[in-house]
Chains A and B, each alone.
Chain A
Amino acid sequence: MEVKTAGFKEVSTAETLKVSGAEAVIKSLLAEGVEVMYGYPGGAIMPVYDEIFKYKGQIEHVLTRHEQGAAHAAQGYARVTGKVGVAIATSGPGATNLITGIADAHIDSTPMVCITGQVGSHLLGSDAFQEIDIVGLSTPITKWNYQITKASEIPEVLARAFYIARSGRPGPVLIDITKDAQFESLDFSYKKCSGIRSYTPYPEVNLLQVERAAQAINNAKKPMIVFGQGVILGSAEKLLKEVVEKTGIPAAWTILGLSALETDHPLNVGMVGMHGNYAPNILTNECDVLIAIGMRFDDRVTGDLNTYAKQATIIHFEIDPAEVNKNVHAHIPVLGDVKQTLKLLLEFLQPKSHDQWHNKFRELHSTEYEKIIKNDLSASEGKIKMAEVLDEINTVSKGDAIIVSDVGQHQMVACRYAKFNSSRSNVTSGGLGTMGFALPAAIGAKMGSPNRQVVAIIGDGGFQMTLQELATIYQMNVPVKIVVLNNNFLGMVRQWQQMFFEKRYASTEMVNPDFTGIAKAYHLTTRKISERSNLQEAVQEMLASDKPFFLEVEVEKEECVFPMITTGASVSDIRLE
């Protein structure tokens, strides 16, 4: 065996069995508890597909209509379940089509294992038909990747792949398997990986730092929490809530932290960042202690770094040491899994209420309400506004739906207005902002969470990037609810053109097809509305249906999303118009 075993810890031994490499792939996936994978066949991965055929009933394969769709579906599945999503593709173009999804999973820390077929090992480096150096291509966007050229490596490498994808700060792993390795036979036995000597997924917690953090929090007069997806990835939602409730500290969230704390929680003060809420953005520059939990100070959150929370003592709870002091200097970094560190922190925290400080949030919120929210939600004339659609979905779903949003204005509106009662309910492409993400991600989300309502909110632009997945929805009968908010524009880009390029609408206006006609051609139940008076009933019909449902809403063409922190501006210079 070529793979070095020194330095890897394994648990559980099974009896050995002579199988092909391709069968070993499936057996390994089963051993990891994989129930479903998303993929697309082709020459270099055919031996594995042959085994997928034989193992029907034990493991499900969903044929998407594009490998990008497979990757996003795997992401959607991973985001709602917390399990590792699996995508599979052939060599060459199959593999390159996965790239966008892998990059998206990388930047949003989504656990995913991608398996690609590769030309036979004797052909490697010969520019053979459909040979692409996918390991080289995916290096900067994977947590780990590896090319298997011998069948005997398969169980061990896949065990490592799953371990790496799910542990610590999760991320995507790509395993490339040459065709001859799929045909070759091996003695199969599977041992789950439980450690790699060069890899420390969970940094050791320094109790002293936790105490220092607690002290700063206890002494704070105007503290503020900003939490991110780390809370969800670390399954620390309950702990976060306990911290928030015990200390009475207002808690704001990043786009990926959304749903970790229920929307209606009295201490939930909304979203930070470019299109976040007015109060938490402004008060970021007024708080005395900023407690960042499982978030990474993305530029869309911080705006201009030179004027970001300069007055505050910054406490950073973070699992990834490379994130500490990367963008914002942390006065008190607390390394570790938030599930561990928040638990320890709770012991040291004193009960507080911070009433006056809360009034500030309330005041600023009412300004936002008067200037923006009211108009967004209760317009009585003109075209339907995006926010009204979200509001109606909230009313009918009572905040129990999973909302999968695409990228653009509708995404910002969805995150601003959607209500959530439980965690892992907001699925969106945060770090990469990948148009075309939502439709396939919704498939994975619904399959991962079949008992919940899954609603995809998509723009007319993004919908056309992956709309072929309607066929997947039909073939697999995945009852997702698809809402296309049609403004006949690439709205978010148009907004920037309006604000910063004097309304020169270069290539943002779209002449669109008949969307419901398209959805009908894929045998979906559809509805299109353009009048406010039909909105409530249409949303009710959609959510009452137990089948996939397509709803097109014709919305205001030239709406702008506010508040907004313009690029390079300070969070406290957030604009209301």
Chain B
Amino acid sequence: MEKKNYTVSVYTENNLGLLSRIAAIFLKRHINIESITVSQSEVHEVMRFIIIVEVTEEQVKKIVGQIEKQIEVIKAFYHKDEELIYQETALYKVRSSDFVEDFDIQSFIKKTNARIVTVSPNFFVIEKTGERHETESLYEKLKPYGLMQFVRSGTIAVSKNEMPISELLEKFNTSNTIQ
């Protein structure tokens, strides 16, 4: 089966140690995590992990099964790229002297909707949010100038379809089954 980019979304209780529990699931199967982001979610006190991996669909299904099995995981999903709206942010730090005089690059930055965040006598910080190929092409463009620093965030994504987390939690609160 063909390997592809999959986005694993995990809704969890905010619990110490869950990150290592989840990471261990990937480690045990020799699966490299391309990026991971943890933040609060739309639900009060519920966290959301966004994990990007390049695996086969069969693998990602099994991983999601294992993740969902963890006690503090409320729900885990996986999505293909086309099912998501996703973005990454990159920061580029460049030397002011290399830059100020170059109108070519300045207009490129404007064209790509990148933003100059900081200007100082010594350096500029440029920010670009977009898909991977967009942050990448700016990287290629700026590289000849000698990037002082470069960093890119993990992918963050929201799904096109609904994520019924609140309903799920509501169901728990109203069901009386005691087993």
Contact = CB atoms under 8 A, between A and B. Distances in A.
The answer to whether A and B come from one shared complex is yes
Interface of A: 4, 6-7, 9, 11, 135-136, 139-140, 143-147, 164, 167, 194-199, 201-202, 320-322, 324-326
B95 to A, nearest CB: 40
Nearest to B24: A140
Contacts of B121: none
Interface residues of B, number: 25
Interface stretch (B66-74, B98-106, B140-148, B155-163): B66-74
A146 B12 CA distance: 16
B100 to A, nearest CB: 47
A266 to B, nearest CB: 35
Contacts of B173: 197
A9 B66 CA distance: 24
Contact of A7 (B13, B21, B24, B66): B13
B164 interface: no
A461 to B, nearest CB: 29
A139 B179 contact: no
Given A195-B177, A195-B179, A324-B65, 17 more contacts: A4-B13, A4-B45, A6-B45, A9-B178, A11-B178, A136-B20, A139-B24, A140-B21, A140-B24, A147-B16, A164-B71, A195-B178, A199-B72, A201-B179, A202-B179, A320-B69, A322-B68
Given A139-B17, A325-B61, A198 B12 contact: yes
A195 B172 contact: yes
B66 A139 contact: no
A134 to B, nearest CB: 12
Contact of B169 (A143, A145, A197, A321): A197
Nearest to A201: B179
A386 B177 CA distance: 50
B62 A322 contact: yes
B172 A145 contact: no
A139 B45 contact: no
B121 to A, nearest CB: 42
A319 B177 CA distance: 17
Interface string B63-95: 001101101111000000000000000000000
Contacts of A196: 71
B28 interface: yes
A184 to B, nearest CB: 19
30 contacts: A4-B13, A9-B178, A11-B178, A135-B17, A136-B20, A139-B20, A139-B21, A140-B28, A144-B71, A145-B17, A146-B17, A164-B71, A167-B179, A194-B178, A195-B172, A197-B172, A197-B173, A198-B13, A198-B71, A199-B71, A199-B72, A320-B69, A321-B65, A321-B68, A321-B69, A322-B62, A322-B65, A322-B68, A324-B65, A326-B65
Contacts of B62: 322, 325-326
B57 to A, nearest CB: 12
B69 A322 contact: yes
A201 B70 CA distance: 11
A109 to B, nearest CB: 12
List of 3 A-B pairs having minimum Cβ-Cβ separation, nearest first: A322-B65, A197-B172, A194-B178
B45 to A, nearest CB: 7
A7 B69 contact: no
B169 A7 contact: yes
Contacts of A202: 179
A278 to B, nearest CB: 32
B158 to A, nearest CB: 21
A194 B175 CA distance: 12
A132 to B, nearest CB: 15
A11 B178 CA distance: 9
Contacts of B73: 198
Greatest chain B CB density within 10 A among A147, A196, A197, A324 is at A197
Contacts of A201: 179
Contacts of A197: 74, 169, 172-173
Contact of A198 (B24, B65, B74, B179): B74
Contacts of A194: 178-179
A199 B168 CA distance: 11
Contacts of B169: 7, 197
Contacts of A136: 17, 20
B101 to A, nearest CB: 51
A328 B62 CA distance: 12
B111 to A, nearest CB: 46
Nearest to A329: B58
B70 to A, nearest CB: 8
Contacts of A322: 62, 65-66, 68-69
Interface in B1-57: 12-13, 16-17, 20-21, 24, 28, 45
